[in-house]
Structure 1
Amino acid sequence: MSAAGRRREVSRRLVLGAGAAFGSMSMASGPLTWMSTTGLGPGPNLPEVAELTPFLDPLPTPSRATPVQVDGIHQLIIPLMNATARLHAQLPPTRLWTYGGTVPGPTIEVRRGWRLRVTWTNNLRGTVPLTAVEAANTNSPWNAPGRSGALPRPDVAALTPWAAAHVHGALTGANSDGWPENVLAPGESQLSEYPNDQPASMLLYHDHAMAVTRWNVFAGLAGSYVIRDDEEDSLGLPRGDAEIPLFVCDRNFDTTADGRLTGDLLHKVTLVNDMGWMRAHTGPFTLVNGVVWPYKDVPARWHRLRLTNAANTRQYHFRLVDEHGETVPLHLIGTDGGLLSEPVQLSDGIVLASAERADILVDFGPYRGQRLELVNVETNPDPGPWPHVMEFRVRPSRVSDPFRLPRTLSRSFTRVTQVPGDSPPDRLVVLTPMGPTQALLWEMARIATPPGPLPADGIIQLAEADGSMTTYERRSVAFGDPAQFTVTAGGWERWRFLHAASSGWPHPMHLHASGFQVLRRERLDLRGFTQIGARGFGTSSPITVAGPGAELPGDTGWKDTVRVQAAELVTVATRFGQPCGKFVYHCHMLEHEDMGMMRHFRVMPPVLRDLEMRDDMGMGDMHG
C-alpha cells in the first residue's frame, strides 16, 4: 500500500473507532461525513403539551468512543456537530450542539497508562441553538418553564460556534487542557494528548471557551470520560448492564404564547434584587443521559451508578426512595478522582455540586417489583415545581447475584491529613459576596501589617483556630491580571478557599492540572467583613474561625472539585503532576466562571523556576 493509502486507512480507522460506536457515516464518495443518530423516535414535531409526563421514556445508555491504536498511540477523532434530538417523547425535536452527534457526547473509555490523542474538530455551523433571556424585574419566575417576560439577548442570538475542549479532571499538559482563550473557529481542530496516568475514575469533558462556556455546554457540548485500571478490575464491581452512567443536568424550554413547550432550549437568568444582581441559570426540567425524567428497568441485583452533576449551576441532593417514601441505602465507593479505601454508607443520599461525581453501589435485590424514584431534595436552590430525576423499575423475578459489598476498595489509596513537606506554599483565595459586582475571586498575599487604617478595600485579617492572626492583601481579581501563583511541578501545596458571604449558594471550586484531598472545613464568623464604598470589601475586625465545619462524604477521597459553603473556609492538600504550563482554576458554576470567577496559575519544572528566581536579581519569585 502506498504512503497515501496508509494515511487514508489510518484516518478511516480513527473515525471508525470513534464513529462506529456513536454515529453513522456516509462513505459514498469523498471525505467521511457525519450524520446524527440521536433522538427517541416518533413524536410530535409541533408544540402540543404544557407539561411533560414523568417516566415516559427509557433511559438511554450513552454511546461509546473506542480509541484506535496507531503506532503505539491510542487515537480518536471527535467532531463537534449540529444535531437534533427528542429530549422527551412529548416534546418536538430540540436543536443542539454536540460531540459526535449525541447528547451527552460519546463516553470515551481508556485504560490507565494509555496515551490518548484526541482530535477535536469544530464542524459546528450557524448560531448557538438556544435563546438566552434576562429578566427585566425581580418578579420573574426563575425556576419555571418559558420566558416569563424575560427579554432576549441579541448578542447571544448572534453567537457563532467558538469552542475549546477540556477534559475535566485529566492530568495533562497545558497545550492539551483546553485553555479558554485558545478557541476553535468552525473548520479548525484541536489536537490534545491525555497520558491517563491516574487511577480508575470517571471524568467528564466539556466546552471551555472564554466567556461562552455557559451557553456552549447548555447547548449540548459535554460527555463522560472513563479510566479503568487493574485495581478496579480486581474488585469485581458490577459491570456491563449493571454499571449505569447517570449524566444529570437541568434545562428549560421555551413556550408558545399559550404555554405549550416548544422543545427549544431556553437559558433564563433573573434578577435577585433591584441592585441588578443576576441569579445564575437553573431549569425546572432534569435530564438524565439527555432525556427528561426517564425510567430504567433493572434486575433485582447490585448495580453501580456512575453519577455526574453536569448542570451549569444547580446543586443536587440526590435521594433514592421506595414506593413508601423510605430512603434506599446507597454506598459511596468513589469520588471525582477514583475509588475510596472503603465504602461509605449514605443514609440520606448525596449532594453533588456542578462537575462533582459520585461512584455509588446500590442493591435492588430487596425491592423486587417496586418502582424506586431518584429525586432531588436540595433546597439551595430548591428543585422548582418538580423534584423528579428518574425512576428505577425493579423486575419482580429473583436473580442470582454473587456480588458482595467489599470491605476494602482501593489498597493504593492514602488519606492525606497534612500537606507533605517542611514549608509547602500556602494559597488563599477569597470568594466575595454578590454585591456591587457579581461574586469574584480574590488572590491574596500575606503582608506583615496593614498598609493603613482599616477597613480598607482588599485588605482582610483572618484569626485562625489556634489564635494566630494573619493580614492579607488582594493581589489579583480579574482574569487578565498577571499570574500570582507559580507552582513547582510535582510539588504539594496548601490551597484555602474562603467563602466570604454569610448566605447563598456554595461555590464548587475546580483546580485544573491537579488532584487534591480536603484537609478540613471551618465555620467562619464574618461580622468583621464589610462592604467599603461602592465596589470594595475589607475587614473592620478579623474574620474569625468559629469552629470545625461538617465533613462531607466525598471529603474522604481524591477530588478535583470541592464545594465551599457560605461562611466556610475549606483547606485542601493538592499535588501537581509533571505537566507544565499555564492552567486555570475557577468556580464551576458556569455562569460564575464566565462572569469573572476564574483565574490562572503557572506550573514550572523546578530547574526553570530556580533559574527564573535567580534571574530576578534577588527580587524573589514575582509570581507566587
Structure 2
Amino acid sequence: MSDLTIHPVREAASDRPSGAPSKREAVAGLTPFVDELRIPPVLRPGRKEALRGIDIDQTTTWVRLHSELPPTKVWAYEGHYPGPTIEVRRGRRLRINWHNRLTGGYPVTAAEAKPLPGAPLPTDEPGRANSTPVEGVADLPPWTVTHLHGAVTGGGNDGWSENAVAPGDSQLSEYPNDHRATSWWYHDHAMDITRWNVFAGLAGMYLVRDDEEDMLQLPSGRREIPLVIQDRNLDTDEEGRLTGRLLHKTQVVAQDKDGKNVTLPFTGPYTLVNGVIWPHADVAACWYRFRVLNAANSRTFQLRLVDDATGAPVTGAVWQIGSDGGLLPRPVPVDGPLSVASAERMDLLIDFGRLRGRTLRLVNAAPGVTYPDVMQFRVGTTQVRDPFVLPQVISPSFERLTHGSAPHHEHRLVVLTPPGPVGNFHPEMWEMEEIPDTGLKFPVEGVVQIRGADGKTRTYRRTARMFDDTLNHMVRLGDWEQWSFLNLGGAGTHPMHIHLVDFQVLSRDRYPADGDPNFPYDNKTGGTRVPLEHGGTAPISPGDQGWKDVIQVPPGQMVNVLARFQGATGRFMYHCHLLEHEDMGMMRPFVVMPREVLKFHHHQPGGHGHDAH
C-alpha cells in the first residue's frame, strides 16, 4: 500500500536528563508522565498510488490509553488512534477510499450528570456516579463519513454529514491538494452523532508540503512531531476502578420545554496527546517542530510551557510559525498562554537547545482547570550541533488583507444567540438579511438591530435557524465574501468553521452581550429592544492574522472574516466546531455555483454588500 513508516521520538537513554522526575502521585486514578508519547504512523502515497487511490479502513480495535489502564475499545483509521498522518505534495491529487469496516457495539457510553451542592464538578470525576445514561446511544450503528477539514475539494468529496455509510460500504473521495503547505485533519462528520463518533477515536492529521516550506529547512523527521490533543472521561466499575471504557459525560444545566436535559459541551478530566493520557517525550537539546491540533470535542486549551521543578513559565523558546491555513509571514513569540480552540491547528517551533537538561511540562493554563497537565518534555543533557536558525521571514508569499485592501465582496451576517426559550434552551445560529425599518414595534422575534461604528442603524431579520431550514446562502464561484459572526453571549466562545475556504480576520468589533447591564436583547422574545451599540474594536492576535479556517468568536464580539470561494463547487457547511453545539443544530449549508448558472437560480444571493461595522 503506502510508504508506512513510524517516526520515533525516543532519544538515546544516555541523553535523558540526569534529574529525570521520580514517579508522581496518581491524579484521578492515573499517574502522569509514565507513558511515552506515541507517534502515529505516516502514509506517503506515491504518484501512481495517489492517482489509483489508497484504501483506509475504519476498524474496531483496542488500545491502552495509559499503562495503568485495561485496554480501551476505540474506532480507528487503519487500526491506529489517532489515525495515520497522511503526507502529500502540493498539487498532487489523492484519491482515498474510506472503508467502513467497523464491527461490534458502540464503544462510547454517554451519560448526563447533575451537579451536587458542594461536590466537585461531575465532569471532573471519572465514572457515572449521579448520572443517567443517554437513551439510544448504546444502540447506535457504526454510521460514519470522513471530512478532510481544511481541504479545497468539490462538495461531493467533502464528507457531507448526511452521506454517511454503514459497515461494508465505502466513501470515495478525491482531494486535489492544490494548497500552500499546511496541516489539515480528517475526522468523522456523521449527522447528529459527530460528537460521539469523533470521541470514539475517528481523527487523524493530514499534512500538505510545498517548495516554500522546503526552503525554510525546518526541523523534520523525528524532530517534527504531531501533537493531537484531546480530553476524555473514563468509566469505572462497581468498586470505583477505572475500566478504560470511553465515557462521554456532560453536565446538566437545565431542562427544555419538552422535559429533556440541556447540557454543557463535553469536557473531561484526562488529557490525551496522540492517544496517550499525560505522556512524556524524550527530546534532544535542539530545535523541534510540533504540529499541534486541538481535536477535543469542545475544550479550548490555553497552552503554556513551564519548568517542571518550579512551575515558572518558559520564555524565549517557543515560536508560532503557522496557523490553520498555512505558514505565517513571520515567526510569533509565544511566551504567554496560546489559545487553541477545538479544530484549530498551531505550527510551533521549540528551541530545546536553550533548555538543555531540563524537564518541562506543557500545561493548560485556562482558568478553573482542575487537571492542567497536558504532557512532559525531558530534554537531553548532551549538547547537540543544530544547523537550524529561526528565519526572520517564514512566508514571503503571504499577503495580509484589510478592510481597505479587500476586493469588492458580498456581506453576510450570522448571529449566535444565547440559550433560552426561543432557542429551546440551546444556543442557535441565525442567518440574517437586512430589511428596512418600517415602524416595527420592538422587540420582534428574529429581528436584531445594530448601530455600527459609522453611527448607522441597520435592521436584520432571521431567515434561517435550523440545519433543515430553507437554503439561503448561494455563493458565486470566484467571489469574495465577508462573513460576520456576532456572538450575543450566554454560551461562551464559539469556534466557527467554514468548509472549503481559508479566510483572514478583518476585524473584531465589540458589542454588548448576555450579562452586560446594557444588553438590549430580549431572550424571551428573541430580538433586540433597542439597537446593539458598537463599543470599539478588539485586537487581532498575531496568530489570527494568518490564513484560518476556524476562528474563535467570544461573547460580545462581531468577528469579520473575508474569504474567496474558489477551487470547487457544490454544497458545503459551516458550523460551530464545538461538536456538541454542531450536533445540536449550530450548523448550516451553503452552495457554491458558477455565476453563469446561478443567474438562472430561483433564489439569487442577496446584494447586501455593505460594511456592517
Q: Take 1:291 and 1:620, find their aligned partners in 2: how far apart are those partners?
A: 50
- The match for 2:396 is 411
Q: CA deviation at 1:53?
A: 0.5
Q: Deviations over 1:219-249 (max 9, x none)?
A: 0000000000000000011001111110000
Paired residue type of 1:303: Y
Match of 2:56 among 65, 70, 78: 78
Q: CA deviation at 1:490?
A: 1.6
Q: CA deviation at 1:523?
A: 1.5
Match of 1:517 among 494, 500, 504: 504
Per the alignment, do residues 529 and 461 of structure 1 end up closer, same or farther by CA in structure 2, a change over 3 Å counting? same
Match of 1:292 among 273, 277, 284: 277
- The match for 1:96 is 74
Q: CA deviation at 1:91?
A: 0.4
Q: Take 2:329 and 2:280, find their aligned partners in 1: how far apart are those partners?
A: 32
- The match for 1:393 is 378
Q: Take 2:183 and 2:98, find their aligned partners in 1: how far apart are those partners?
A: 20
- The match for 1:8 is none
Per the alignment, do residues 190 and 430 of structure 1 end up closer, same or farther by CA in structure 2, a change over 3 Å counting? same
- The match for 1:146 is 127
Match of 1:500 among 469, 479, 488: 488
Paired residue type of 1:448: P
Match of 1:472 among 439, 443, 460: 460
Q: Deviations over 1:23-79 (max 9, x none)?
A: xxxxxxxxxxxxxxxxxxxxxxxxx99610000001011111222433872621101
**2:358 aligned with 1:373:** no
Q: Take 2:414 and 2:599, find their aligned partners in 1: how far apart are those partners?
A: 25
Q: CA deviation at 1:606?
A: 1.4
- The match for 1:440 is 428
CA contact (8 A) 2:271 2:374 kept: yes
Match of 2:589 among 570, 595, 600: 600
CA contact (8 A) 1:249 1:287 kept: yes
**2:328 aligned with 1:340:** yes
CA contact (8 A) 2:50 2:94 kept: no
CA contact (8 A) 2:472 2:605 kept: no
- The match for 1:328 is 314
- Which ranges in structure 1 are unaligned for 5 or more consecutive residues? 1-15, 23-47
Q: Take 1:517 and 1:620, find their aligned partners in 2: how far apart are those partners?
A: 26
Per the alignment, do residues 435 and 368 of structure 1 end up closer, same or farther by CA in structure 2, a change over 3 Å counting? same
CA contact (8 A) 1:128 1:216 kept: no
Q: Take 1:406 and 1:230, find their aligned partners in 2: how far apart are those partners?
A: 16
- The match for 2:217 is 236
Match of 1:52 among 30, 34, 38: 30
Q: Take 1:374 and 1:540, find their aligned partners in 2: how far apart are those partners?
A: 46
Paired residue type of 1:348: G
Q: Deviations over 1:497-521 (max 9, x none)?
A: 00011x5421000000111000111
Q: CA deviation at 1:127?
A: 2.5
Q: CA deviation at 1:399?
A: 0.6
- The match for 1:39 is none
Match of 2:289 among 304, 308, 319: 304
Q: Deviations over 1:288-338 (max 9, x none)?
A: 000000000000011111110000000000000123323223111000000
Per the alignment, do residues 71 and 373 of structure 1 end up closer, same or farther by CA in structure 2, a change over 3 Å counting? closer
CA contact (8 A) 1:418 1:573 kept: no
Q: CA deviation at 1:257?
A: 2.4
Per the alignment, do residues 378 and 450 of structure 1 end up closer, same or farther by CA in structure 2, a change over 3 Å counting? farther
Q: Take 1:372 and 1:266, find their aligned partners in 2: how far apart are those partners?
A: 30
Q: How does 1:186-335 map to 2 (within 5 A)?
A: 186-273=167-254, 276-322=261-307, 323-329=309-315, 330-335=318-323
Paired residue type of 2:267: T
- The match for 1:165 is 146
Q: CA deviation at 1:611?
A: 3.0
**2:568 aligned with 1:579:** yes
- The match for 1:530 is 521
Per the alignment, do residues 177 and 368 of structure 1 end up closer, same or farther by CA in structure 2, a change over 3 Å counting? same
What's the secondary structure of 2:526's corresponding residue?
Answer: strand
Which TM-score applies when normalising by structure 2? 0.90
Paired residue type of 1:479: F
Per the alignment, do residues 532 and 235 of structure 1 end up closer, same or farther by CA in structure 2, a change over 3 Å counting? closer
- Which ranges in structure 2 are unaligned for 5 or more consecutive residues? 7-25, 609-613
Per the alignment, do residues 421 and 248 of structure 1 end up closer, same or farther by CA in structure 2, a change over 3 Å counting? closer
Match of 2:95 among 106, 117, 120: 117
Q: Take 2:405 and 2:474, find their aligned partners in 1: how far apart are those partners?
A: 18
Q: Take 1:201 and 1:570, find their aligned partners in 2: how far apart are those partners?
A: 23
Q: Deviations over 1:9-28 (max 9, x none)?
A: xxxxxxx227x458xxxxxx
**2:537 aligned with 1:548:** yes
Q: Take 1:292 and 1:483, find their aligned partners in 2: how far apart are those partners?
A: 42
Per the alignment, do residues 317 and 443 of structure 1 end up closer, same or farther by CA in structure 2, a change over 3 Å counting? same
Q: CA deviation at 1:482?
A: 1.4
Per the alignment, do residues 505 and 333 of structure 1 end up closer, same or farther by CA in structure 2, a change over 3 Å counting? same
Q: Take 2:54 and 2:438, find their aligned partners in 1: how far apart are those partners?
A: 54
Which TM-score applies when normalising by structure 1? 0.88
CA contact (8 A) 2:322 2:346 kept: yes
Give percent identity, aligned residues only: 48
CA contact (8 A) 1:500 1:529 kept: no
Paired residue type of 1:148: A
Per the alignment, do residues 189 and 419 of structure 1 end up closer, same or farther by CA in structure 2, a change over 3 Å counting? farther
Q: Take 2:339 and 2:519, find their aligned partners in 1: how far apart are those partners?
A: 30
CA contact (8 A) 2:332 2:543 kept: no
Q: Take 1:565 and 1:393, find their aligned partners in 2: how far apart are those partners?
A: 35
Paired residue type of 2:66: H
Q: CA deviation at 1:491?
A: 1.4
Match of 2:445 among 457, 467, 472: 457
Q: CA RMSD in A?
A: 2.0
Match of 1:355 among 336, 343, 361: 343
Q: Take 2:40 and 2:574, find their aligned partners in 1: how far apart are those partners?
A: 28
What's the secondary structure of 2:53's corresponding residue?
Answer: strand
CA contact (8 A) 2:145 2:161 kept: yes
CA contact (8 A) 1:456 1:532 kept: no
CA contact (8 A) 2:410 2:607 kept: no
Per the alignment, do residues 287 and 514 of structure 1 end up closer, same or farther by CA in structure 2, a change over 3 Å counting? same
Which ranges of 4 or more aligned residues in structure 1 deviate by more than 6 Å?
Answer: 419-422
- The match for 1:591 is 580
Q: Take 1:591 and 1:243, find their aligned partners in 2: how far apart are those partners?
A: 32
CA contact (8 A) 1:68 1:75 kept: no
